[in-house]
Structure 1
Amino acid sequence: MNAVYINNASCISVQDTLNENFFDHLTPENSVQVVKAIEPNYKEFIPAAMIRRMSKTVKMSSVASHYALKEAGIEQPDAIIAGTGMGCSQDSEKFLKNVIDNQEEFLTPTYFIQSTHNTVAGQIALGLQCHAYNFTYVNTSSSLEFSFLDAMLQINDGEAENVLVGSTDEQTERTMELYCLNNTIKKSEDLPFDFLNSKTDGVIWGEGSGFFVLGKEKTESSYAQLKDIQISNRLDLDEVQNFIGDFLAKNSLTYNDIDAVILGVSGDARSDIYYTKAMGLFTSSALLYYKHLSGEFNTASSFSTFAACHILRNQKIPEVMMINSVKKDGIKNVLLYNHLLGNDHSLVLLEKV
C-alpha cells in the first residue's frame, strides 16, 4: 500500500478536546459509573431548527467533522466513512418507547428514520451537499479501524484523495441501566478504583466523537502517517504475543522500534489481562493508557488515535497517560492496541511525518 496520512483530527469527548491546549488540562475520572462528553455550543454550527431534530451523536459528529474539514481547508471530501458501535441509540430508544406506549399503533416514523446507524454519515453529507462515496461500519469496538481500512483502500485504489473518516457513540438512559444490570458498568460499591490495578469487573462508560481527514499527500498540517491496521475478532491470551509480533514483523519493525504503546486499559479485571500481557513485550517503550480520561465505549479508540496524533506532532506525552517511566528523546512509531471487554482486538500503527 502507498502512504496514507492523517492530515487533520478533531475530537469531542469527556475532556475539553476542542480546546487547543487540552493536553495541559486532562482530568482522569475513576469515581462515577458514567461520564458525559463536554459538548460545544451547537448553535454556532447547526441551525436552531435542525438542532431539535438531531440526536446527540449526530450533533457531536457534525461539529467534530466540521472542525476536521475546516482545519484541512477542504469543503468537499472525496468520501465520507463513519464507524459506530451503537448508532443513534437515543432515537432508537424513543421509537421503541413509542411502540410500547402506543401499543404498536399510530406511530410517527421520524424516530425510526433517524435511528438507523448510517444517519451520522448521511447527515454530514447532507450538510456538505456531498454526493461522494458514503459508508458506515458497525463493528462494535473496531468500527473506526474498519473505517480507516476502507479509507486506505479508497486512497490506494485511486478512488479518493481526501477522505473524511470518523466514529461516534452516545449514551442512552435505558442502555446504561442495562449495562449496570449485566455488570458491564462497574458497581457503585467498587468505586473509586485504580485503573492499573483493578481487582473488580466492569468499566466506567463514556461517549464521544472523533473525525480525521485522511489524505494521499502529506501537508504542512499532517499529524501522522497511518502505516497499518490489523483486527482480530477473537484472541486467546496466549495468542497476544504472536498477534502483535507478527503485525510488527509485517511492517519490518521489532518491539524495540516502538517508541510508545497506547493501551485501552479500562479497569475491567477480566479483560485487562490482555494489556498486561502486551506490556511485557515492550520493555523499552513508553507505555500509555487513556480510558481513565475518555471512559470505555464502542469507539473509544478515536480518543487514543486523536491523542496519538498530538503526541507525534508535539513530541510530548502527558504525564497523566503514562504507565511506566520510560521517556524517549524522539517519538517516531506509536502502536495503539485496543479491545472491548476482551473482544474485537485491533492494532493501529502510526508514524511521525
Structure 2
Amino acid sequence: MSAVYINSASCISVQDTLKENILQNLTPVSSSNIIKAIEPPYKEFIPPAMIRRMSKTVKMSSVASHHALQEAGIDQPDAIIVGTGMGCSQDSEKFLKNVIDHGEEFLTPTFFIQSTHNTVAGQIALGLQCHAYNFTYVNTSSSLEFSLLDAQLQINDGEAQNILVGSTDEQTDRTMELYVLNHTIKQETDLPADYLNSSTSGVVWGEGASFFVVGKEKTQSTYAKLKNINISNRVLLGEVEVFIQNFLSQNNLSHNDIDAVILGFSGDAGSDAYYTKASKLFPASSQLYYKHLSGEFNTASGFSIFMACHILRDQKIPEVMKINTVQKEEIRNVLLYNHLGGSDHSLVLLEKA
C-alpha cells in the first residue's frame, strides 16, 4: 500500500496544543488522577446558539477540525472519518438519567439523538455542508488507527484526494466515578503517578480531540508521510517483539532504522509491561513517552501522532518526552506503539516527508 501525507495536524488536549511552539511548552501532569482538556474560546468558531446544544466532544472536534482544514487549505474534504472510543458520553449520561428520573416515560429524544457515536462526524459535515463519505469507527484504543487506515485505502484506491481524519473522547462525571471504583483510574493514594516505573495499577485519565488532513500529494503544510499501520486486538506479552519485528519487516526496515519510538506508558504497572518489552528492541533509538502529557483515554494515540508530526517536521524532540538519551542527527522514521489496558494494540509508522 502506498504512503500518504499528513498535511495538517490540530489537537485540543490537556496541553495548550492550539498555540504555536507547542514543543517548548509541554507540562507533565502527575498529581491528579483525572485531567481535563484546555478548551478554546468556542464562540470564536461556533455560533452561541449552537454551543449550548453541543457536548464537549462535539465542540472540541468542531474547533480542531476547523484548524486542521484551515492549515491544509482545504474547504471541502473528500471524506470525513472520525474515531472515538466513548462517543458523546455526556449526552448518553443525560439520556440515561432522564430514563431513570422519568420512569422510562415522557422522554425528549434530543439527548438520545445527540448521544450517538457518529454525532461528531455528522456535525462537522453539517457545518461544512459536506455530502461526501462520512464514517465513524468505534474500536476503543485503535479507533483513530482504523480511521487512518480507511483514509489510506481510499486515497490509494483513487476514491479521494484529501480526507479529514480525527479522533475524540470526552470525560463524564458518572463514568469517571465508575472508572475510579473499578481501578481503571488511579487511586488518589497512588499519586503522584510514576509513568515509567509504576508499581501501582490504574491510569491518569485525560481527554481531547486530534484532527488531521490526509492527502495523496505532499504540500507546503505537510508534516509527515504515513507509511503503514498494523492493528491487533490481542497480543500476548511474549509476542510483543515478534509483533513489532514482523511489522518492521513488512516495511523493509530493521529496529536500527527507527530513529524514534513513541511508547504509550500510562503508569499502569500491569499493562505497561508491553512497552517495557518493546523498548528493549530499540536500544539505539530515541525512546519517548507522552501520556504524562495527555493522560490515558481511548483515543490518546491522536496526541502521540500529533506530537510525532511536529517532531518530524521540526526535527526536534522535547526533553520532557525522552526516556533515554539517544539523539539521532536526523529523525526520519518514527514508530508509535499503543494499546489500552493490554488490548487493541496498534503500530503506526511515520516517515519524514
Matches within 5 A, 1:114-125: 114-125=114-125
CA positional deviation for 1:244: 0.2
Matches within 5 A, 1:221-260: 221-260=221-260
Aligned to 2:202: 202
May I ask how many residue pairs the two structures share in their alignment? 353
23-32 or 300-309: bigger deviation: 23-32
Kindly indicate whether residue 102 of structure 2 is the aligned counterpart of residue 91 of structure 1: no
Aligned to 2:38: 38
Whichever residue aligns with residue 13 of structure 2, its letter is S
> Matched residue of 1:195: which SS?
coil
CA positional deviation for 1:17: 0.2
Q: Which runs of 5+ in 2 are unaligned?
A: none
Matches within 5 A, 1:335-346: 335-346=335-346
Distance 2:195 2:131 in 1: 44
Aligned to 1:160: 160
CA positional deviation for 1:108: 0.2
Matches within 5 A, 1:35-114: 35-114=35-114
Distance 1:347 1:89 in 2: 27
Task: Please identify runs of 4+ aligned residues in structure 1 that moved more than 6 A.
Answer: none
Kindly indicate whether residue 272 of structure 2 is the aligned counterpart of residue 272 of structure 1: yes
Aligned to 1:294: 294
Distance 1:118 1:97 in 2: 21
341-350 or 191-200: bigger deviation: 191-200
CA positional deviation for 1:314: 0.3
Distance 1:21 1:36 in 2: 21
Q: What CA RMSD, in Å, does the superposition of the two structures yield over aligned residues? A: 0.5
Q: Quote the sequence identity (%).
A: 78
Whichever residue aligns with residue 80 of structure 1, its letter is I
Q: Deviations over 1:166-195 (max 9, x none)?
A: 000000000000000000000110111321
Distance 2:196 2:72 in 1: 37
Q: Deviations over 1:108-164 (max 9, x none)?
A: 000000000000000000000000000000000000000000000110111100000
CA positional deviation for 1:3: 2.5
Aligned to 1:130: 130
Whichever residue aligns with residue 216 of structure 2, its letter is K
Distance 1:90 1:223 in 2: 33
Distance 1:352 1:154 in 2: 22
Whichever residue aligns with residue 253 of structure 2, its letter is L
Distance 1:343 1:292 in 2: 20
Matches within 5 A, 1:167-182: 167-182=167-182
Aligned to 2:12: 12
Distance 2:221 2:54 in 1: 31
